[in-house]
């Protein structure tokens, strides 16, 4: 067994020195052992292999679909090149006023160049009567685009910054790399001219280079820019440029410290596996995937050049995969709760996972031994789960198909998930929670003063308002996740009725509806200077944060608890500072907790109301299925009468339980109502359009069978209080077995100050304390805001053992105090931050939560051997 590689910031800095990067930063470049020309040539050869494959990879039948697709696209684009007129380089793409069409023109040139470089003559498109002539046409196209749109005499950048600084440099650089021999002969100064133009267009950089203090040069964006600059350095034969790009990129490898951000950067991976982009958006499945893909690409390009980092860098990326991605993927589907605006894109969770799988395949080729086998086993697991077989577009590189085929053919590599089947994961740095069990996975999206309620940008995710207000996704084992969770789900479920959400009854307007079709609020003359890329736009339009600090939870072993104080967003809070034409919306109020057990997810909701007196709807769940699926709703009222669905008449006032069963797929969800008001249940066909969610989506209709169960609080009514449980994969016997008292579930408290639940079958007590002051439940005494789980019968422990987990969900407290009643218990294992001492009435735990950023701190206790000395009766008050 190989020893794990330590990935501390110090080790990464040492790796920089070992790779010869640190001397570059000090102005003393060090040539690679093989020489500058050989290193640059190796990088370009690695790039060609990654993009076009090798003779060996392309002989494999598994690559045929991808290579045929490359050829078809090239023939289509050549025809468009022939049919262009006037301002077009390609027919249908007029240039001069759209950065998106300009970037697409560069992408098509790259696609044609790629088709001419695919090894194996029989793979080339038949339309390429003369490959050299086609390559020269591509170079001529690059020259035209340079002269008219991108070079030193071209107009200034306009519109979105991304195509100018990332997208176009990527496509142009790759094209020049693939056609380097022809370019050297026909246009020997073209590569240098393009690189100089790319430096000039790096408007958010410094002196034509990366600016690590720029908010645009972080995480995924930084990885894109620096990988592009590595290719540029190879084109110029400039290893110093490559080393500088490597050094800049390596700043994303070390986990972030939110209390001491380097260069002010809060984008990237945190120690708890969270990934944040834009400073506050949970984005593992969007920007995080882009970062993973680009970093693995960069490491692959640098392989064998003598310019790359040491093994610490690869180990860091392995950590991202293990801790950041694996828990978020259930049976091949990557959860929507970490996709930001990308959840409204049409590709869906299986396609997102294929990108992760391809990165893992590339990563496995960069390491050896047991680590390589573990990555290969995970790639094999992902590939089977996300349906790689038979999909010619599953991967981007022919090498990936060849590597995956090799894994399938190797019986010694057994597919294995990197995440446990039973586990609870608190990604508190991005306000997300994932709970996994055999049979289901539950994902929860929260928001706070640290994390955005949603991400809207560039006409994507047009109706996002409640996506961070405790919305959940419940994935059931053994079924196609698409109909229940893809863009069709969001097109047919009301944005005000997302699963788990409490929303005011009102109609909100999208950004284009509010501002005359514009995709953002434009008022550069205002003191807050609203422009397309301004910080004010980010804070109030694109990704506004919530205004309550309490959002978080605690994990103890495989169990968890999460909580949220729902609040207005930053725009409503700051409405007096905003322009008169700026639209703001007030949110409903709610305090919620989720208690994550084996067979149940218990939800408590208190203070569900509205300060403006509006009606509020709280959606227990909303599930979608294919129109042809057979759905059966059954249940029972509190007085024991059967309930057989909304078709039998209005939902009765007192449901004890309800069950949604998809008979076509063989899955079910039970709903146990522990303390609940009347429930509205609906089931029917709904037709919507993905275009309403994202302007670039197809406009055609999508139809789903939609089930909703919701509590409705009328306008002006007192705040609602409710308690219920989701019971995944429950049959009717199990639902009946809970009886009138809820079986092993006990609601101990459900107020805006304290929410607590006991599970008598598991010996667990869990509580969320939301307010200052003392809180008491089940004999526990807790001081101030905190999240706590106590296991009185932890598995595989000696009798009398007690395990405790505590966190500070506000991230603002210095300490949390907790008093366990009864005989004195001594600490036998746990976090050194937990101090245990005897008290007169039990055991006092003083938990140091400074700079823990919501992390769970645990301790294992056993009965003491002496009578406790006199001590405090109550937990000491924690600082704030």
**pLDDT (average), residues 274-303:** 97
Confidence band of 26 (pLDDT split at 50, 70, 90)? very low
Q: Which residues, 6+ apart, have CB-to-CB distance to 76 below 8 Å?
A: none
CB 745 within 8 Å of CB 689 = no
End-to-end Cα, the chain, rounded Å: 45
Q: What is the pLDDT of residue 16?
A: 41
Torsion of the alpha carbons at 132, 133, 136 and 138, rounded to the nearest 10: -100
pLDDT-wise least confident of 32-46, 269-283, 629-643, 723-737 = 32-46
- Average the pLDDT over 360-377 and give the result: 96
Q: Classify residue 429 as exposed, middle or buried by CB count within 10 Å of its CB (0-12, 13-18, 19+).
A: buried
**What was the pLDDT predicted at 254?**
87
User: pLDDT tens digit string along 435-492?
Assistant: 999 999 999 999 999 999 999 999 999 999 999 999 999 999 999 999 999 999 999 9
pLDDT band, very low/low/confident/very high, at 740 (cuts 50, 70, 90):
confident
Q: How do strand 281-282 and strand 825-830 relate by DSSP bridges?
A: unpaired
User: Above 90 in pLDDT, residue 23?
Assistant: no
Which three-class secondary structure state does DSSP give residue 613?
A: coil
708 alpha-carbon distance from chain centroid: 26
Residue ranges and CATH numbers for the domains of the chain are 35-201 (1.50.10.100), 423-737 (2.70.98.10), 745-863 (2.60.220.10)
Mean pLDDT of 170-190: 97
Please state, as a whole number, how many other Cβ atoms lie within 10 Å of the Cβ of residue 38: 14
Question: What pLDDT, on the 0 to 100 scale, is given for residue 36?
Answer: 87
Q: Dihedrals φ, ψ of 586, to 5°?
A: -85, 140
pLDDT one-digit tens code per residue, 388-426? 887 888 999 999 999 999 999 999 999 999 999 999 999
pLDDT band of 128, cuts 50, 70, 90: low
Q: Would you state the torsion angle of the CA atoms of residues 461, 466, 470, 474, taken in this order, to the nearest 10 degrees?
A: -50
pLDDT of residue 175: 98
Cα separation, 479 vs 666, in Å, equals 8
- Top pLDDT among 739 and 89 is at 89
pLDDT in tens, 524-553: 999 999 999 999 999 999 999 999 999 999
d(CA 494, CA 509): 13
pLDDT of 8 above 50: no
Interatomic CA distance for residues 104 and 111, integer angstroms: 10
**At residue 21, does pLDDT exceed 50?**
no
Place of tokens 């690679």: 32
Q: State residue 9's pLDDT score.
A: 41
- Total residues found in the chain within this entry: 880
DSSP three-state, residue 32: coil
Asked whether 337 and 445 are in contact (CB, 8 A), the reply is yes
Confidence bin at 652 (pLDDT 50/70/90): low
| pLDDT band per the 50, 70, 90 thresholds, residue 880 | very low
Angstrom distances, CA of residue 631 to CA of 47, 628, 660: 51, 9, 7
pLDDT digits (tens, 9 = 90+) for 579-617: 999 999 999 999 999 999 999 999 999 999 999 999 999
Q: What is the pLDDT of residue 17?
A: 39
**pTM for this entry:** 0.93
The pLDDT tens digits of the residues spanning 476-490 come to 999 999 999 999 999
Contact between 481 and 385 under an 8 Å Cβ cutoff? The reply is no
Confidence of residue 6 (pLDDT cuts 50, 70, 90): very low
Residues 356, 382 contacting (CB under 8 angstroms): yes
> pLDDT averaged over the chain?
92
Beta bridge mates, 862: 826
Torsional class of 795: left (φ above 0), alpha (ψ -120 to 50), beta (otherwise): beta
Q: How confident is the model at residue 874 (pLDDT cuts 50, 70, 90)?
A: low
**pLDDT higher than threshold 60 for residue 20:** no
Q: Distance (Å, rounded) from C-alpha 745 to C-alpha 760?
A: 7
DSSP-assigned letter for residue 304? T
Q: What distance in Å separates the CA atoms of residue 322 and residue 346, rounded to the nearest whole number?
A: 26
């Amino acid at each position: 067994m190989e020893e794990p590689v330590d990935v501390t910031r110090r080790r990464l800095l040492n790796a920089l020195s070992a790779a010869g990067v640190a001397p570059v930063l000090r102005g003393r470049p060090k040539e690679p052992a093989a020489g500058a020309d050989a290193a640059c040539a190796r990088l370009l050869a690695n790039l060609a292999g990654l993009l076009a494959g090798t003779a060996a990879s392309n002989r494999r039948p598994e690559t045929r679909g991808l290579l045929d697709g490359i050829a078809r696209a090239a023939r289509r684009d050549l025809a468009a090149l022939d049919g262009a007129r006037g301002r077009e380089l390609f027919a249908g793409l007029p240039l001069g006023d759209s950065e998106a069409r300009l970037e697409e023109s560069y992408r098509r040139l790259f696609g044609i160049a790629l088709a001419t470089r695919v090894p194996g003559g029989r793979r080339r498109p038949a339309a390429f009567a003369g490959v050299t002539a086609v390559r020269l046409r591509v170079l001529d196209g690059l020259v035209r685009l340079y002269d008219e749109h991108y070079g030193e005499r071209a107009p200034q950048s306009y519109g979105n910054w991304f195509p100018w600084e990332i997208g176009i440099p990527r496509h142009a650089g790759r094209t020049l790399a693939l056609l380097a021999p022809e370019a050297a002969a026909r246009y020997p100064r073209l590569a240098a001219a393009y690189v100089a133009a790319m430096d000039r267009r790096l408007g958010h950089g410094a002196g034509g280079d990366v600016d690590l203090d720029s908010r645009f040069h972080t995480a995924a964006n930084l990885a894109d820019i620096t990988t592009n600059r590595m290719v540029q350095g190879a084109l110029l034969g400039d290893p110093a440029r490559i080393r500088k790009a490597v050094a800049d990129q390596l700043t994303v490898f070390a986990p972030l410290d939110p209390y001491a951000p380097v260069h002010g950067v809060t984008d990237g991976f945190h120690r708890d596996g969270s990934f944040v982009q834009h400073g506050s958006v949970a984005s593992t499945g969007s920007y995080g995937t882009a970062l993973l893909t680009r970093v693995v690409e960069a490491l692959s390009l640098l392989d064998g050049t003598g310019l790359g980092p040491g093994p610490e860098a690869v180990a860091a990326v392995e950590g991202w995969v293990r801790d950041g991605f694996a828990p978020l993927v259930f049976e091949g589907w990557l959860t929507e709760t970490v996709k930001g605006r990308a959840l409204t894109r049409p590709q869906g969770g299986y396609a997102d996972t294929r990108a992760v799988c391809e990165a893992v395949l590339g990563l496995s080729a960069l390491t050896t031994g047991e680590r390589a086998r573990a990555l290969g086993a995970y790639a094999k697991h992902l590939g089977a789960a996300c349906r790689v077989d038979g999909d010619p577009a599953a991967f981007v590189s022919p090498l990936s198909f060849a590597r995956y085929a090799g894994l399938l053919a190797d019986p010694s590599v057994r597919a294995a998930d990197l995440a446990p089947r039973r586990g609870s994961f608190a990604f508190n740095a991005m306000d997300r929670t994932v709970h996994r069990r055999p049979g289901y996975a539950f994902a929860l999206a929260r928001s706070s003063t640290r994390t955005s309620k949603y991400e809207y940008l560039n006409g994507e995710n047009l109706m996002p308002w409640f996506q961070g207000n405790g919305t959940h996704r419940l994935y059931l084992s053994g079924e196609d996740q698409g109909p229940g969770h893809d863009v069709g789900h969001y097109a047919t479920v009301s944005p005000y009725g997302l699963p788990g959400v409490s929303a005011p009854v009102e109609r909100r307007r999208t950004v284009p509806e509010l501002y005359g079709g514009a995709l953002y609020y434009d008022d550069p003359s205002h003191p807050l200077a609203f422009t397309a890329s301004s910080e004010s736009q980010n804070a109030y339009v694109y990704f506004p944060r919530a205004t309550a600090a309490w959002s978080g939870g605690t994990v103890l072993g495989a169990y968890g608890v999460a909580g949220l104080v729902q609040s207005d967003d930053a725009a409503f809070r700051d409405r007096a500072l905003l322009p008169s034409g700026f639209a703001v919306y007030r949110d409903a109020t709610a305090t919620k907790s989720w208690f994550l057990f084996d067979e149940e997810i218990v939800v408590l909701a208190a203070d569900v109301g509205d300060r403006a007196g509006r009606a509020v709807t709280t959606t227990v769940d909303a599930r979608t299925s294919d129109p042809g699926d057979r759905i059966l709703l059954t249940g029972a009222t509190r007085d024991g009468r059967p309930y057989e669905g909304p078709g039998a008449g209005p939902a009765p006032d007192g449901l004890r339980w309800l069950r949604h069963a998809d008979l076509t797929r063989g899955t079910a969800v039970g709903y146990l109502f522990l303390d609940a008001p009347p429930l509205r249940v609906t089931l029917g066909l709904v037709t919507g359009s993905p275009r309403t969610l994202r302007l670039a989506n197809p406009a055609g209709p999508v139809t789903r069978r939609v089930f909703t169960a919701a509590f409705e609080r009328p306008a002006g009514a007192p705040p609602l209080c409710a308690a219920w449980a989701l019971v995944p994969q429950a049959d009717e016997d199990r639902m009946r077995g809970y009886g009138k008292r809820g079986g092993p579930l006990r609601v101990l408290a459900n107020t805006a100050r304290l929410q607590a639940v006991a599970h008598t079958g598991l010996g667990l007590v869990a509580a969320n304390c939301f307010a200052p002051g003392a809180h008491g439940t089940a004999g526990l005494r807790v001081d101030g805001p905190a999240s706590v789980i106590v296991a009185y019968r932890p598995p595989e422990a000696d009798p009398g053992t007690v395990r405790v987990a505590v966190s500070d969900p506000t991230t603002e407290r210095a300490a949390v105090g907790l008093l366990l009643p009864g005989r004195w218990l001594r600490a036998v294992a746990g976090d050194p931050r937990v101090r245990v001492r005897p008290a007169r009435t039990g055991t006092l735990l003083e938990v140091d939560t400074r700079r823990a950023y919501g992390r769970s701190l645990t301790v294992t206790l056993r009965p003491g051997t002496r009578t406790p000395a006199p001590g405090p009766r109550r937990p000491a008050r924690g600082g704030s």
